[in-house]
Homo-oligomer: A and B are copies of this chain.
Amino acid sequence: MLEEVNILRIAEGEASTHQDIVVKEFPLTIVLNDQEIVTLLCSPADLKYLAVGFLHSEGLIREKEDIKRIDLDEQRGVAQVWTREGQEAVSQVLPLRIKAAGGGRTAFLQSSEAPARIESELKISPQEVFNLASDFQHRSEIYRATGGTHAAALCNYQDILAFAEDIGRHNAVDKVFGQCLLEGLPTQDRIFITSGRISSEILLKVAKRRVPVLISISAPTDMAVRLASEVNLTLIGFARGRRMNVYAGEKRVTLFQPSGG
């Protein structure tokens, strides 16, 4: 995921040449049942997870059992996915999807797949949020090396269960959910963390997987806050050090932890 480059560094009034590290950008074309769906610019790791997570986010795959075969050609940058249903089912969905995917990807917002209320009884304490956010930021190695990536993770109260980095916010999230789908990791009653801004689209990706708590290191938009309230999702932003903002679903945050127990 990294590449060495020669740079001229200017600091404290001195100029000097250095070998520096930048993050790689890789074009991955996703093909579903012989039909080209999209070319994503991404970080070249976890590409099967990315392909599957993207197709699942876009509603083109519903469950693991839909997938008959996945072929990844890293040389050519092509991930081919075949489903049980084959060509016909996809063609019906595709025209609508591709149009909506052009930049905004807002189909989801208006579609019949709008997520239902999340009924999870999960609760989390501020200390647990701080610990998870701290672990998460320590895991983000590529970011620390290059400053050029986003990260995303699925967690339980204590541990990171699936983790991905990518140059794209959306790709990092899709990689984690792709891994969950392929490895059969349940997402209900779990916690999702992302380094990036929470837009409505990221919120809907997480809500679609029935995750009741979403934590971001950075900021949400107004639309994400509104949608989180509507689907009963706990939305936490700016989880940094021992601070956090709860934008929606406060009832899942336990302010005082019972001692002992």
A interface residues (Cβ-Cβ under 8 A, vs B):
3, 5, 7-13, 15, 20, 22-25, 27, 36-41, 54, 98-106, 109, 126, 146-148, 167, 170, 197, 199-201, 218-225, 238, 242-247, 250, 253, 255
* B199:A41 contact, CB within 8 angstroms: yes
Specify which chain B residues have a CB less than 8 angstroms from the CB of A11 in the assembled complex.
242-244
* B38:A218 contact, CB within 8 angstroms: no
* A221:B101 contact, CB within 8 angstroms: no
Closest Cβ of chain B to A133, distance in Å, is: 12
* B221:A24 contact, CB within 8 angstroms: yes
* A22:B101 contact, CB within 8 angstroms: no
* A126:B5 contact, CB within 8 angstroms: no
Q: CA of A10 to CA of B127 in the docked complex: distance in angstroms?
A: 10
A–B complex contacts, Cβ < 8 Å, 11 sampled: A8-B253, A9-B243, A10-B245, A10-B246, A27-B106, A38-B103, A39-B100, A39-B104, A41-B223, A101-B101, A148-B197
Q: CA of A22 to CA of B221 in the docked complex: distance in angstroms?
A: 6
* B247:A5 contact, CB within 8 angstroms: yes
User: Which residue of chain B has its CB nearest to the CB of A126?
Assistant: B10
A interface secondary structure, majority: mixed
* B7:A221 contact, CB within 8 angstroms: no
Residue picked from A36, A37, A247, A253, most chain B C-beta under 10 Å: A247
Specify which chain B residues have a CB less than 8 angstroms from the CB of A238 in the assembled complex.
147
Partner of A25, one of B98, B146, B147, B199: B199
User: Which residue of chain B has its CB nearest to the CB of A99?
Assistant: B98
User: Which residue of chain B has its CB nearest to the CB of A41?
Assistant: B104
* B242:A13 contact, CB within 8 angstroms: yes
* A102:B38 contact, CB within 8 angstroms: yes
Specify which chain B residues have a CB less than 8 angstroms from the CB of A250 in the assembled complex.
8
Given contacts A41-B200, A197-B167, A222 and B101 within 8 Å (CB-CB): no
Specify which chain B residues have a CB less than 8 angstroms from the CB of A103 in the assembled complex.
38-40, 54, 101, 105, 170
Residue picked from A20, A104, A199, most chain B C-beta under 10 Å: A104
Closest Cβ of chain B to A169, distance in Å, is: 10
Closest Cβ of chain B to A143, distance in Å, is: 9
Specify which chain B residues have a CB less than 8 angstroms from the CB of A106 in the assembled complex.
27, 39, 41
Query: In the complex, given contacts A101-B103, A148-B218, A167-B199, what are 16 additional A-B residue pairs having Cβ atoms less than 8 angstroms apart?
Result: A3-B222, A5-B247, A8-B246, A10-B126, A10-B243, A23-B221, A25-B222, A38-B104, A39-B100, A41-B201, A54-B103, A98-B99, A102-B102, A147-B238, A148-B197, A148-B220
